[in-house]
């Protein structure tokens, strides 16, 4: 399953660098691939592929994830989306 996480950050460059240091946290969430992007200097998105969406959500709401987000300098506006539908053209 794909999960998207959007957030406001102090610096996209800092977020990109720090995000990649959380490998063990992502693995514990069943994440195998993370796609990263930004819409401007302060808004980022990660699309994560997980084999365990329930565990992903559980750990996402854990204090360890809040600590990781603080290291990434996430300032707010965090939204999570479970991408549970596919529309093939």
Q: What is the pLDDT of residues 1-38, one digit of tens each?
A: 999 999 999 999 999 999 999 999 999 999 999 999 99
DSSP state of 41: S
Cα–Cα distance, 57 to 17 (Å, whole number): 23
- φ, ψ for residue 42 (rounded to 5)? -135, 0
- For the entire predicted model, the pTM comes to 0.92
The domain ranges of the chain are 2-83
Q: Is the dihedral of CA 4, 9, 13, 15 positive or negative?
A: negative
Give the count of beta carbons closer than 10 Å to the beta carbon of residue 12. 17
Give the confidence band of 57 by pLDDT, cuts at 50, 70, 90. very high
Which CATH architecture does the domain made up of 2-83 adopt? Answer: 2-Layer Sandwich (3.30)
């Amino acid at each position: 399953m794909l999960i998207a996480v959007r957030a406001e950050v102090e610096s996209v460059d800092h977020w990109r660098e720090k995000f990649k240091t959380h490998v063990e946290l992502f693995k514990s969430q069943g994440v195998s691939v993370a796609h990263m992007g930004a819409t401007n200097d302060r808004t980022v998105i990660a699309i994560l592929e997980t084999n365990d969406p329930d565990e992903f959500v559980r750990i996402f709401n854990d204090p360890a994830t809040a600590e990781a987000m603080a290291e990434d300098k996430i300032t707010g506006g965090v939204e999570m989306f479970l991408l549970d539908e596919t529309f093939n053209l």
